[in-house]
Amino acid sequence: MPMFPRTIPPLTFCVTGFSWLMLASILGMATLVGVVFGTPLPSWVRALHVHAVLVGGVAQIILGGFLLLIPPPSSANRTEADFHPLTFLGLNGGLMGMLVGFWLHRYVVVAVAGFVVIAAFLSVIYTVWMRARGAWKFSSKEAWYYALSLFCLVGGSAIGEIVVLGFIPESYGYLRLAHIHLVVLGFASLAIIGMVHHLLPTVWNRPRLVSKLTQISTILIPTGMAVLVGGFLNSSVPIELAAGAIVFMGGILWTASLFRTWLSSPHTGSAASDHLLVSTFFLLFTIILGILVGANSLSSPPMLPYGKLHLVAYTHMAFVGFIVNAIMGAFSYLIPITLAADRIPVTKKRGPYLDQLNAIMNRWGTVQIASLSLGTMGLGLLAALTWNVPLTSIYIRVATWTSLGLLMTGSVLFSVKLTSMIAKKPETLRTGQTSTDELKLTA
């Protein structure tokens, strides 16, 4: 019997990544409760939370999504090209090694496991890029954008290795900033912005409008983020504010391009389109908040106190509001299609089954999106309350548990629907006595 599975399809990367997100969210909530109630958890818990979210969750989902969106060049080699057992085990096994290393404070273990994770990243990137050369519909003018995001993933991970091994101790703070922001801004944000821009028109069943707005935005956003990383590394607030303005202008043009596409569509709502639209709102909102945070720090002392809880609220409004909503929107559209295609090879026969899967995903969509969004905004309200009332106030406690309850409601609803879709086989669509041919047709 083999010691590892022989077949790991791209969808497994996405589902496993989402599982890491949900597990890491429990650690994140425990950390927030510890901060609010004055019983902070050990620092290694935060390291576990951050790396489980970014490596096991976001990076694995995005790379798995690339494998889903860019099919093998021909069906003849689909079996070989679409199964990645060693890459899957390297990514997730390496991540678990990193987490154990952080827990035990064995940073050599973290570094060795990190090299395994980077090797898994490179394996997926190589596969994606080879496919993209012949199969991707994106033009060569757009390919640099995604190449840049993948370069930031590998570069940011390599800098993380330098940090954890302590090769340049005098530059620890700057390297750590570069590590975090290259992965979060350079990779995750750029990749998700590109994904939303290409996926939303498909969800709306409209052709993507490629205009000057689109071209300018795809230049402004990565340029602004590069300048922003430079501002962080130089501890220069004016550079950070200028970078924020560039990113905001790019975000406005990007949103305007999507809005034009939306105006030409029939405006049919779904969980996929609603999640993706909400993510665009949170992207612009958190860019504005980031500019205000930078402006606040120009005065000494700052006009408004800015502590750990405010940083947690701001970063998680960006992460949950933008990244998680975008991931849920992409899942809501892509996973039903992928399951139907994998389980029913004949295109003409998969329609009823796909409708059933879409119905599961759209069920309770309003409650799911509203609870997730309100819970995210609640984190901002929680941080704002600390300017007027102490942490021991009943208002802080109510805001904390209400926000966490709303976030859990949205996450659990989505998780239950995702599990229901995966568990629903075509045979479960039978009603009454049907012949074999009828059953195949309804499947």
Per-residue pLDDT tens over the stretch 407-436: 999 999 999 999 999 998 886 444 443 333
pLDDT for position 284? 92
In this model, does residue 161 exceed pLDDT 90? yes
Neighbours of 113 (CB within 10 A): 24
Q: Which amino acid is at 409?
A: T
pLDDT for position 176? 87
In this model, does residue 138 exceed pLDDT 70? no
The pair of structure tokens assigned to 396 is: 């802080």
**Bigger pLDDT: 235 or 147?**
147
Query: Is the distance from CB of 146 to CB of 194 less than 8 angstroms?
Result: yes
In this model, does residue 224 exceed pLDDT 60? yes
pLDDT for position 370? 94
How many Å apart are CA 321 and CA 332, to the nearest integer? 16
Q: Read off the pLDDT band of 442 (50, 70, 90).
A: very low
In this model, does residue 89 exceed pLDDT 50? yes
Q: What share of the chain is helix, strand, coil (3-state, %, to 5)?
A: 80, 0, 20
Give percent of the chain with pLDDT exceeding 70.
Answer: 88
In this model, does residue 130 exceed pLDDT 90? no
**Burial degree of 189 (CB within 10 A; 0-12, 13-18, 19+):** buried
pLDDT in tens, 188-198: 999 999 888 88
Note the Cα 256 to chain centre separation in Å.
22
Q: How high is the mean pLDDT of the chain?
A: 85
| Mean pLDDT confidence for 84-108 | 94
Q: Which residues contact 13 (CB under 8 A, 6 or more apart)?
A: 60, 61, 63, 64, 67, 84, 88, 91
**Bigger pLDDT: 18 or 347?**
18
pLDDT for position 438? 34
Query: Is the distance from CB of 306 to CB of 289 less than 8 angstroms?
Result: no
pLDDT in tens, 260-310: 888 777 767 788 999 999 999 999 999 999 899 889 888 888 888 888 888
In this model, does residue 60 exceed pLDDT 80? yes
Q: At what angle do helices 394-423 and 10-36 cross, to 10 degrees?
A: 170
Q: Read off the pLDDT band of 168 (50, 70, 90).
A: confident
Q: Read off the pLDDT band of 76 (50, 70, 90).
A: very low
Tell me how far CA of residue 268 lies from CA of 9, 85, 205, 206, 265, in angstroms. Answer: 31, 39, 10, 12, 8
How many Å apart are CA 433 and CA 5, to the nearest integer? 37
How many Å apart are CA 353 and CA 343, to the nearest integer? 9
| Mean pLDDT confidence for 125-152 | 77
Q: Which residues contact 311 (CB under 8 A, 6 or more apart)?
A: none
pLDDT for position 40? 87
Q: Which residues contact 210 (CB under 8 A, 6 or more apart)?
A: none
